[in-house]
Chain A
Amino acid sequence: METILEINQLHKTYGALTAVDHISFKIKKGHVYGILGPNGSGKSTTLGMVLNVVNPTSGEYKWFEGSTSNHDALKRIGAIIERPNFYPSMSAIQNLELVCKIKNIDKSKIEEKLAVVDLLNRSHSKFSTYSLGMKQRLAIASALLNDPEILILDEPTNGLDPQGIRQIRDIIQKIASNGTTILLASHLLDEVEKVCTDVIVLRLGKMLYAGPVDEMNRNHGSIFIDASDRKALHSFIENKPYAGTITTHDNGLEVKLYEPVDNAQINKDAFESGIILSKLVHRKQSLEDQFIELTNKN
């Protein structure tokens, strides 16, 4: 599979502060990547370095397997960083025309992309009159102008209201379904969970994990069970090989699973041991739980 970006031991310090600590990973074509990390974990600095606006202290990165110079590679990608940056006195169209000139591409796509982000009716208003949500959508339109091979989004829903967040998320999902490679940096986990296939987890500039979302913590979620005889249920379940820690809640027991197990099998085993389950629910671990667990462990 084609590698779009390869980062090798990238390192950045600001004085005594280490913002990014020897990070390496690869971005493959066709996947949707999420960079996860709390505020200040080095997400934006990492993106800034590969986008040629922050000078790395050491390490290197290669776009498109090193086939083009960095700034020519940037013409083939689309990126928005932190907040939308445009010329306030120009209209949406004039701003996008400028981007076309910089990227050396034809202006014919401007209307099409403005339609994607639902800004056509305001395309002649000055950028300074836009709301934050509109500015962010214009930024996405601008990033899509060249039909990029990879779209990089840094906190695209930052500061937006719920409606705005939903709009941006829908746009991202639409783009992802077209097969565009996406790299999405965010601290909003459900945002990442909904669209990403792969994640890179950063904390304090160190990379904790890089790989598919499902394999982040090798666990299999948990089951919620209940029966009229709680004690018997407890002693039954704790002897099973797949059962991990058991937590007692008001409405039943939560059992972490060590290995994949079929709900029907549990039901059958329980019945054969003389316990009749009144409740049996399997729940996958949310990305948030996985993330908290992973960042606590390290």
Chain B
Amino acid sequence: MKRLLDIEFHKFRYSKSSIVLTIIYLVIVVLMMLSGMIRIDLNGFNGSFSDLGIFNFPLVWHISTYFTSFLKIFIAIVLVSLTANEYSNRTIKQNLIDGLSKKELILSKLYLALSLAILTTVVVFIASLILGLIYSDFDEPSIIFSQMGYLGAFFLAHLVFFCFCLFAGILVKRSAFALGFVFVWYIFEGILNLLAKGVDTFYDTHIYEWLTHILPLNAMSNLIKQPFTKIDLVESALNQISVEGMDFGYDIEWIDVASVCIWSTLFIYMSYALLKRRDL
């Protein structure tokens, strides 16, 4: 495993685009941290994001994982281009001839995806911890380290997305088209969702609810639910309106966890099967 990681990080380290995108990712995370300090002067309203209480423990875990989730596209581009470029430079062929087995090749990519998922989780953890320590109204360790499940969900969401991108890279072989494939798949899931909602309203079925758990990108984004209505200001406003039937769940559902784990395994296995069958 150490050898495979070493091989993969060697490729990662000397690829300019990978390094640039990873730096962009880190810079944006830091900028988002700093945004908490910006004071806004608007129509007599004077305050900053931190005054909303969004950096309070343990809410900060939920907020930060939710808002940094979309950034995974940067890391995904890195993974897709690293994988697809192996095809366009035909280095994948040379790797095999040099004595890497097809299994090792997929494993090394999986290890890279795992490491990047761990890395992003750690970065977000540290960033949120610092933000929380600066702005949080509560600082008892028992409160700080509660609801850490969101970080686990964050990790899983990244892992399944990276595995998906890996599979797209191997399936399509060209980085631009592979990213296109990921995007098209995203739209495809959106259309399925709409159709399901339509069918549900007409036939009183629950297809949509199932789709949100079953489709990979749905399950991924469903892992961490929106935290807006948890913010004090919004919550109190909603309470005043007190709309009937407004019931928000924030918990990570086990079915989503299971779903993304199964999808991750499937993507890796399908990548392996594809590579094994193919003549290079």
Contact = CB atoms under 8 A, between A and B. Distances in A.
Interface of A: 48, 51-55, 69-72, 74-75, 79, 81, 83, 85-90, 94, 97-99, 101-104, 142
Given A54-B279, A54-B280, A102-B7, A85 B14 contact: no
B140 interface: no
B10 A101 contact: yes
Interface in B34-78: none
A86 B104 CA distance: 19
Contacts of A81: 93-94, 97
A97 B10 contact: yes
15 contacts: A51-B97, A53-B96, A54-B280, A55-B279, A71-B96, A71-B100, A74-B96, A75-B98, A81-B94, A85-B94, A89-B14, A98-B11, A101-B3, A102-B100, A103-B99
Nearest to A99: B98
A79 B92 CA distance: 14
A69 B101 CA distance: 10
A23 B52 CA distance: 76
Contacts of A97: 10
A52 B3 contact: no
A139 to B, nearest CB: 9
Interface string B86-114: 00011101111111111010000000000
A48 B16 CA distance: 31
Contacts of B101: 52, 69-71
B7 A53 contact: no
A105 B11 CA distance: 17
Given A85-B89, A85-B90, A101-B3, A52 B96 contact: yes
A104 B10 CA distance: 14
Contacts of B146: none
Contacts of B235: none
B105 to A, nearest CB: 10
A86 B98 contact: no
Q: Residue among A55, A74, A98, A103 with the most chain B CB within 10 A?
A: A98
A55 B277 contact: yes
B88 to A, nearest CB: 10
A89 to B, nearest CB: 6
Contacts, number: 76
A53 B280 CA distance: 5
Nearest to B6: A101
A211 to B, nearest CB: 27
Nearest to A70: B101
A75 B97 CA distance: 8
B139 to A, nearest CB: 46
User: By DSSP majority rule, is chain B's interface helix, strand, loop, or mixed?
Assistant: helix
Nearest to B279: A54
Contacts of A90: 14
Given A72-B99, A75-B98, A97-B10, A87 B280 contact: no
Contacts of B96: 51-53, 71, 74
Interface in B193-229: none
B91 A87 contact: yes
Given A69-B101, A74-B98, 12 more contacts: A51-B96, A71-B104, A79-B97, A81-B93, A85-B89, A87-B11, A97-B10, A98-B7, A98-B10, A101-B3, A101-B10, A103-B98
Contacts of B11: 87, 98
B236 interface: no
Contact of B93 (A53, A75, A98, A99): A53
Contacts of A87: 11, 14-15, 89, 91
Contact of B15 (A55, A74, A89): A89
Contact of B97 (A52, A89, A101): A52
B94 A86 contact: yes
Contacts of B3: 101, 104
Interface string B1-21: 001001100110011100000
A267 to B, nearest CB: 55
A255 B10 CA distance: 64
B91 to A, nearest CB: 5
Q: Residue among A75, A89, A97 with the most chain B CB within 10 A?
A: A89
A85 B86 CA distance: 10
Contacts of B104: 71
Contacts of A89: 14-16
A85 B92 CA distance: 9
Contacts of B95: 102
Nearest to A49: B279
A90 B14 CA distance: 6
A179 to B, nearest CB: 22
Contacts of B280: 48, 53-54
A81 B277 CA distance: 20
Nearest to A71: B101
Given A75-B99, A102-B7, A103-B99, A86 B89 contact: yes
A89 B104 CA distance: 23
A151 to B, nearest CB: 12
